Structure 1
Amino acid sequence: MELERLLRSQGFGSRAECRVRVLAGRVKVAGDVCVDPYAHFEPAGLSFTVDGEPWNYREFVYLAMNKPAGYECSRRPQHYPSVYSLLPQPLVTRGVQTVGRLDQDSTGLLLLSDDGQFIHTFTSPRKRVPKVYEVTTRHMVDDAQVMALLNGVELHDDAKPVGAVACIRMDEKRLRLTVTEGKYHLVKRMIAAAGNRVEALHRITVGGFSLPLALPVGQWMWLGSPELELLAQRG
């Protein structure tokens, strides 16, 4: 693949913009400056730097972010900053998207990718991917509420009750809830239907992949084969 096309595929601008970068000596391939925008390279496994920043060629991007509160999962946020502002510009330019959404006040594991099939797999209700949330409630959680969540609660836009796969009471006002649906504000509406209210919502697991404890709030990480295999697990 020509170098300028390769850079464009990785989010470094239009072909013309990438050509300018190369001609200016701002790109190194395998440690050597390359000033020929039409030089051919095998993209698979290729390492390069742009303006001193190291990159590896990736056909698709798979990321996990520890989403902080106060960020919207939108490219056109209305009231809060966008989670995309936490990513390097090349990832935004190449079209990385959030895989589903977390509300601005919700935190925790957020997946991002530019692989359409991956996004579909983890957002389609038919795939029934388990997602685990730690829920802090306004009022004390009693046995009746736990049973209601497990047996299924009535939501105004659903013809049949929606239940949790698992519901563990962690203390008086905290639950660990596992759901497989992907409906709008699902956990908040389920808790409300059970007679309580969500004060804080933190997603810790998708599929078999859990948010790494070492990943700081507001930071992101690349997902490789081991993490993707864990994501594919259904419990």
Structure 2
Amino acid sequence: MAAKIRLDKLLSHTGNGTRSEIKKYVKQGLVTVNGAVVKDSGMIINPETHEVRFEGRQVNYREFAYFMMNKPAGVVSATEDRKDETVIDLLENEDQAIQPFPVGRLDKDTVGLLLLTNDGQLAHELLSPRKHVPKTYEAVVRGNVGRADQDQFTAGVELDDGYVTMPARLNVRSQEQTDEGIMSMITLTIMEGKFHQVKRMFEAVGKQVVHLKRVAMGPLALDPELEEGSYRELTADELELLRTYRRTDLQ
């Protein structure tokens, strides 16, 4: 059952204005609850049993929201930034109003799957270092990625700061010869989220990542129909997968 909530909080949470603006709207008679005009913006309501309308339009409250975004390059994974556009800037105003935040981060030039939510508990479960939620990437790597690299990634790679990564699964999908040398198209699954980890892992074996895309986080896979810069709400099935997910070891 939904928790009871102040009317002004419900309206601000659904993108209908600030608390002070909503107080004015209520006094102007623009808000109804169960068909009756109300004049108290602090009225306590139950979103499941009260029908709230603002200027005749029904207001649908949701305590938590969960968005899948295909993050584009050039956008930072943050709620605000003084210089760059953020993933929050890509959301519709009504979705920004519920104050979601990115679960983890993707580098500015990395594209792909990013989960945004205002559910702090779920975010904690997915980000906790103890959970070791796997993250899968597709990348174009400059260099001949081969068996020796796969074995090294399986054993753990020592990064430039001396940290040795957990075992990772590296698969080579294809390779092609270009004017810039051999390019390897790979898929990599890692169990951590260290700063620039994928790029640093390949640098440690003498290779360079030239394009990076996250395609999965735990059981959640990027919707192939979702264009870069677009987002959508998770389906009920996707949300249930995240809520019930338990880590399985790399085989």
TM-score normalised according to structure 1 size: 0.84
What's the CA shift for 1:35? 5.7
Task: Identify which of 221, 229, 241 aligns with 1:218.
Answer: 229
Match of 1:115 in 2: 119
Q: Is the alpha carbon distance of 1:46 and 1:103 closer, same or farther for their aligned partners in structure 2, counting shifts above 3 Å? A: farther
Match of 1:204 in 2: 215
Q: How far apart are the structure 1 equivalents of 2:120 and 2:36?
A: 34
* 1:150 aligned onto 2:154: yes
Q: Is the alpha carbon distance of 1:138 and 1:214 closer, same or farther for their aligned partners in structure 2, counting shifts above 3 Å? A: same
1:26–1:33: 8 Å Cα contact kept in structure 2?
no
Where in structure 1 are there 5+ consecutive unaligned residues? none
Match of 1:132 in 2: 136
Task: Identify which of 73, 82, 85 aligns with 1:81.
Answer: 85
Counting matched residue pairs gives 233
What's the CA shift for 1:159? 4.3
TM-score normalised according to structure 2 size: 0.79
* 1:179 aligned onto 2:183: no
What's the CA shift for 1:187? 0.9
Task: Identify which of 168, 171, 190 aligns with 2:171.
Answer: 168
Where in structure 2 are there 5+ consecutive unaligned residues? 176-183
Q: Is the alpha carbon distance of 1:54 and 1:212 closer, same or farther for their aligned partners in structure 2, counting shifts above 3 Å? A: farther
Q: How far apart are the structure 1 equivalents of 2:73 and 2:90?
A: 13
2:47–2:61: 8 Å Cα contact kept in structure 1?
yes
SS state of the match for residue 126, structure 1? Answer: coil
SS state of the match for residue 130, structure 2? Answer: helix
Deviates more, 1:180-189 or 1:38-47: 38-47
Match of 1:66 in 2: 70
Q: How far apart are the structure 2 equivalents of 1:77 and 1:183?
A: 21
1:47–1:57: 8 Å Cα contact kept in structure 2?
no
Task: Identify which of 102, 105, 110 aligns with 2:109.
Answer: 105
1:204–1:211: 8 Å Cα contact kept in structure 2?
yes
Q: Is the alpha carbon distance of 1:54 and 1:208 closer, same or farther for their aligned partners in structure 2, counting shifts above 3 Å? A: farther
Q: How far apart are the structure 2 equivalents of 1:150 and 1:45?
A: 54
Q: How far apart are the structure 1 equivalents of 2:31 and 2:14?
A: 13
Cα-Cα RMSD: 2.9
Aligned sequence identity (%): 38
1:162-216 alpha-carbon deviations (Å, 9 max, x no partner) = 331x221111111111111021111111111122111111111111111112222
2:112–2:213: 8 Å Cα contact kept in structure 1?
yes
Q: How far apart are the structure 1 equivalents of 2:135 and 2:58?
A: 33
Deviates more, 1:92-101 or 1:61-70: 92-101
Amino acid at match of 2:216: T
SS state of the match for residue 134, structure 1? Answer: strand
Match of 1:8 in 2: 12
Q: Is the alpha carbon distance of 1:82 and 1:53 closer, same or farther for their aligned partners in structure 2, counting shifts above 3 Å? A: farther
Q: Is the alpha carbon distance of 1:68 and 1:22 closer, same or farther for their aligned partners in structure 2, counting shifts above 3 Å? A: farther
